Structure 1
Amino acid sequence: MKRVLLFLATNLAVILVLTLVLNVFGIARGVSASGINIGQLLVFSAVVGFTGSFISLLMSKTMAKWSTGARVIDNPVSADEVWLVNTVRKLAERAGIGMPEVAVYEGAPNAFATGAFKNSALVAVSTGLLESMDRDEVEAVLGHEVAHVANGDMVTLTLIQGVVNTFVVFLARVVGFFVDKVLLRGNSDRGPGIGYMVTVFVCELVFGLVASIIVAWFSRQREFRADAGSAKLLGSPRPMQQALMRLGGLAPGALPSQMSAFGISGHGNGWGALFSTHPPMEERIAALNNLPPA
């Protein structure tokens, strides 16, 4: 639940800051005293909705390295590092993408991939994952992360987040105008009043919650595709299943809230499952059983 709240707070903060900036520069004129200009409001909503998402995507590699303390392996200094880099290179060639940066960071078992472009991504694994898995299992995890990159999942999730953010901003202002002018009968000579501002704030919270559920659902679907991608790259679903079973018995390493969707594991319980970016391990293992023969 803490990650959910941080995620919501981050998105709301981005929306509020961009809204303030656009208002200061006179760009946000979608709602006036006389009514709603749908075209202007849509443009305003799209700018607010997509700007934060794309900035986060473009900064994702830098932020990932900074927030996890990941060390990029430029010159392997051990046999394990040589194997790690060579394995990622082999998987990237099979997937038809450029060689990602390979990094290791201190922490409990986890791994992630990020980056705005397929041919310049970052694949990172934790020391805990390397220490708790055998090489076949680590290779399957690396295949999963490379599949994320090959599938363009980082860009796809960014676009989805931008779309739902746009609808949150747009619908919140439409509802706010309706409440202020129709239900509260605000002063039409002065433009939107306090009822509009309060309603917009509340609606952005509520609609943002619904948007987070939608984005989390899409994220869970991409995990199934990345698992299947790993099975395809390795020629068999068995290594990925073994890796998932191993991860299911380990406490997942925590990642910064803005990166939690990019980890290899993690699942919420109860209501938290609606906001979970990853399906339960049992479902992922079962889905690999249903893959068509290679």
Structure 2
Amino acid sequence: MFKRVVLFLATNLAVLALISIVMAVLQSVFGINLGGAGGNVGLLVFAALFGFGGSFVSLLMSKWVAKRGTGAHVIEQPRNEAEQWLVATVRRQAERAGIKMPEVAIYDAPEINAFATGPSRNNSLVAVSTGLLRAMSRDEAEAVLGHEVSHVANGDMVTMALIQGVLNTFVIVLSRVVGRVIDGFISGGRDSGPGIGYYLIVFVLDMVFGLFASMIAMWFSRRREFRADEGGAALAGRDKMVAALQRLSQTYGASTLPKQVAAFGISGGVAHGLRRLMMSHPPLEERIEALRNAPLDPASAGIHA
């Protein structure tokens, strides 16, 4: 879990650092002012292009990245009874959820896990690990599949891309506006244009605001897990979904999912203290308790009656 958080932060910081360098080049070489006075419109446009661009490129490539990162085998023609059951279960759940049949895949990993990804509700992938197929009963696996189909039906992949785009844009704009104020205060209000001090300040602010943005994104991610649990219960039954979460809590180990799809796995690990703020999933015991007390409404979980 800690390594995934570090990689997640490092990736975002690398993107923000690149943005700072590009903006400096545009200012010094081409005279395009995105950080100084009068550059607010250009800054906003630039921030939105970078902020949303990266998120939506990742979204569009999500299925390809997931397949490559996990080595998932997409079931074109079921080779055995287990694969036949997987495809039939996902098809039945997808029809009830009102979405196009997702691609169904199996990937080789020892842990009990599954994930859903894809650029839209009607262009998605649902994959399960070989560890899940070995360790879970059919009822438990059915609930896990319902959880993942619910993610697709709720449009969670698109929602998270939009949230990340908004947060990225906010970080880029706010760090440069605040950086401009701080640089002006340090320079005594001299209008000599942004110097090296300004870009150093902005780089630090990118890291600080980026950390807070990541916490906000992870908060949204945790909320959607509760809803997907309710969706899985609506599709497979509350008792089956509770049993699946209990099985996960008894056997959960370190995830081997690549960071691009780790947030869409069935379980996100365990963390305490401040590290909990960077968790993409709530603790399993909280999910079990919430599901037991939830008044299951299929419509609110994105499932058609």
Partner SS, residue 126 of structure 2? strand
Match for residue 31 of structure 1?
A: 35
Give 1:184 shift: 3.0
Tell me which of 254, 257, 267 is aligned to 1:255.
257
Tell me which of 129, 146, 150 is aligned to 2:132.
129
CA offsets 1:217-240 (integer angstroms, 9 cap, x no match): 000000000000111112x31111
Asked if residue 66 in structure 1 is aligned to residue 68 in structure 2, the reply is yes
Asked if 1 retains the 8 angstrom alpha-carbon contact of 2:17 and 2:203, the reply is: no
Tell me which of 47, 50, 54 is aligned to 2:49.
47
Q: Which runs of 5+ in 1 are unaligned?
A: none
Aligned equivalents of 2:279, 2:84: Cα separation in 1: 34
Partner SS, residue 240 of structure 2? helix
Question: What letter corresponds to residue 7 of structure 2 in structure 1?
Answer: L
Q: 1:28 to 1:220 in 2, by over 3 A?
A: farther
Asked if residue 285 in structure 1 is aligned to residue 288 in structure 2, the reply is yes
Partner SS, residue 121 of structure 1? strand
Q: Aligned ranges for residues 88-99 of structure 1 at < 5 Å?
A: 88-99=90-101
Question: What letter corresponds to residue 202 of structure 1 in structure 2?
Answer: V
Asked if 2 retains the 8 angstrom alpha-carbon contact of 1:19 and 1:48, the reply is: no
Tell me which of 132, 138, 158 is aligned to 1:155.
158
CA offsets 1:35-67 (integer angstroms, 9 cap, x no match): 243222111111111111111000000000000
Aligned equivalents of 1:58, 1:22: Cα separation in 2: 26
Give 1:21 shift: 4.6
Aligned equivalents of 2:17, 2:34: Cα separation in 1: 16
Q: Aligned ranges for residues 197-216 of structure 1 at < 5 Å?
A: 197-216=199-218
Give 1:188 shift: 2.4
Q: 1:141 to 1:109 in 2, by over 3 A?
A: same
CA offsets 1:69-90 (integer angstroms, 9 cap, x no match): 0010001100000000100000
CA offsets 1:141-179 (integer angstroms, 9 cap, x no match): 000000000000000001000111111111110111112
Aligned equivalents of 2:278, 2:296: Cα separation in 1: 32
Give 1:135 shift: 0.3
Moved more, 153-162 or 178-187: 178-187
Question: What letter corresponds to residue 44 of structure 1 in structure 2?
Answer: F
Q: 1:64 to 1:141 in 2, by over 3 A?
A: same
TM-score for both structures, normalised by structure 1 = 0.94
TM-score for both structures, normalised by structure 2 = 0.90
Moved more, 22-31 or 242-251: 22-31
Tell me which of 85, 88, 104 is aligned to 1:86.
88
Aligned-CA RMSD value:
1.7
Asked if 1 retains the 8 angstrom alpha-carbon contact of 2:20 and 2:199, the reply is: no
Match for residue 269 of structure 1?
A: 272
Aligned equivalents of 2:12, 2:167: Cα separation in 1: 11
Partner SS, residue 13 of structure 1? helix
Asked if 2 retains the 8 angstrom alpha-carbon contact of 1:179 and 1:195, the reply is: no
Asked if 2 retains the 8 angstrom alpha-carbon contact of 1:28 and 1:44, the reply is: no
Match for residue 178 of structure 1?
A: 181
Moved more, 3-12 or 21-30: 21-30
Moved more, 94-103 or 247-256: 247-256
State percent identity of aligned pairs: 57
Give 1:258 shift: 2.1
Match for residue 9 of structure 2?
A: 8
Tell me which of 137, 162, 168 is aligned to 2:171.
168
Partner SS, residue 248 of structure 1? helix
Q: Aligned ranges for residues 186-201 of structure 1 at < 5 Å?
A: 188-189=191-192, 191-201=193-203
Q: Which runs of 5+ in 2 are unaligned?
A: 298-305
Aligned equivalents of 1:123, 1:50: Cα separation in 2: 25
Count of residues in correspondence between the two structures: 290
